[in-house]
Homo-oligomer: A and B are copies of this chain.
């Protein structure tokens, strides 16, 4: 018997089936492609039987080679560790399923080098399109994609100099929503904490919108931006130390800070997670879940299990631990983002030629104990 290196019997090919059914390859191919209209029921059932007997399964690679399209699309993910990514993926998968596409999932794990490698790999496998949740290091590495290359759609962030459809959160609105919520609940000092945002459009937009919202409220002085470079442990250390100083200062009943205290400073831990609303304490606005997690872990380490009594936390993204810890969040319509991205891509693959589109979806504020009275 014909065997492969691993000892398994060779898979049947279309030729085998043709021989088994006593006919030509063409008919088999026709059968496979559902061109049943012109085919004697007799032949048809012979083919059916032969296929069953040989357990034949057409080779997609060969198909793709011949047809010039293989129904494969690439899905390049910056960081699977971020729950956002997994959720978007669910939408992507559902849409792919519906459209008969097969996503090749590539996980760059925050490594720029990986991103390049995978992108190259994807083009080498001749995927028909790519959905990119880029690391955002610039368009050099994305060159082969978009514009003149493979159809592409960006998720969450756009990339400078890369014209392509993009779908993601309405960052302006989301940041405003969060800021206003914090302001409405009487927090005096608000820190927007975000990873380095020069390169990443979504972070940039969120930060800008935050500052503008503070300004619009006539409270620009009480809004601060803290950059937290999660990739650099030392930098994180420094940033958190800066944050600690502010928190400690505000907590001093001595009122050494200009904002002053108008809350109930003696609130005990036992009052619960409903923290500090209207008491003039500080609120942290995390630009995304990884930042929020980092902050929460730090605060817990520094202020103990009941850190939420001292500082409020609001985060864009809604990881599962948010409900558990009572952290307020702005949930992104992640599933829809993924689904939409595939729809866009599919249109492009089918040859749609419109100018690059943006699809901005609204976030939903989920108020929890951390920021509400």
Q: A residues engaging B (CB < 8 A)?
A: 4-9, 11, 57-62, 64-65, 68, 70, 80-81, 86, 89-90, 93, 102, 104-105, 107, 109, 120-121, 123-126, 148-151, 268-270, 272-273, 293, 296-297, 300, 304-306, 319-321, 323-326, 348-351, 353, 369
Contact = CB atoms under 8 A, between A and B. Distances in A.
A364 B154 CA distance: 40
B8 A148 contact: yes
Nearest to A57: B124
B148 A305 contact: no
B90 A109 contact: yes
A62 B59 CA distance: 12
A350 B5 contact: yes
A273 B59 contact: no
Nearest to A92: B107
Contacts of A121: 102
Contacts of A326: 305
Contacts of A306: 270, 272
A292 to B, nearest CB: 10
A22 B160 CA distance: 39
Contacts of A107: 89-90, 93, 105
A80 B70 contact: no
Nearest to A107: B93
A354 to B, nearest CB: 12
A270 B272 contact: no
Nearest to A83: B81
Contact of A123 (B57, B68, B86, B324): B57
A348 B109 contact: no
A6 B324 contact: no
Contacts of A269: 269-270, 272
Nearest to A80: B86
Contact of A62 (B65, B104, B319, B324): B65
A124 B58 contact: yes
A104 B319 CA distance: 26
Given A11-B126, A60-B126, A61-B125, 7 more contacts: A6-B349, A9-B148, A80-B80, A80-B89, A105-B107, A319-B321, A321-B324
B57 A65 contact: no
A323 B305 contact: no
A351 B6 CA distance: 4
A121 to B, nearest CB: 6
A193 to B, nearest CB: 16
Contact of A61 (B7, B61, B148, B296): B61
A206 B143 CA distance: 50
A236 to B, nearest CB: 16
A231 to B, nearest CB: 16
Given A5-B350, A61-B125, A351-B7, A324 B325 contact: yes
Given A107-B93, A305-B273, A324-B296, A60 B125 contact: yes
